[in-house]
Amino acid sequence: MGGVDRADQNINAYRISLRTKKWWWPYFAHVLELVMQNAWLLFRRTDAHTAEPLDLLAFRRRIVQVYLMRHGAIAKPRRAARLALPAVHRVPDEVRFDGVAVGHFAGPSQTTKRCALCKKNTKKLCLKCTVGLHNQCFNAFHSIH
């Protein structure tokens, strides 16, 4: 198959489907899907693909997860899901090491949490990453790669 046929096949596999009366929505959604398809193809050609191979669905989920966490629109995970992964793996590296200080502030927590580094109880958390961190562990958590 040619490149256009393959792109159409991949886009149709995970097509955005919302019912709307706006005439421009199919064009807008198709552009987003083409961008995602092309980004996945570029990702597969880089060295990052060999370290972390992702199929198209996993790639799309990863992109959405990073954007939601970076812009703060992600809902709090359920308690069982939070305990499943350590905090270091729960926060994507793209958000944890984004190099942007916007949003990475230590703030008070409503409940006692475990520090992501030293595992002791704390009443502070990173407002962007939503993981428990002591004041002395805050910089180390955002600088260790």
Segment 49-102, tens digit of pLDDT: 677 788 899 999 988 888 888 776 555 555 554 455 555 556 766 666 676 555
Evaluated on CA atoms 111, 96, 89, 70, the torsion sign reads positive
CB–CB of 55/36 below 8 Å? no
DSSP 99: S
Beta-bridge partner residues of 108: 124
pTM for the full model?
0.49
122/117 Cα distance (integer angstroms)? 11
Tokens of residue 118, six digits: 């030293």
Structural contact between residues 107 and 122, judged by C-beta atoms closer than 8 angstroms: no
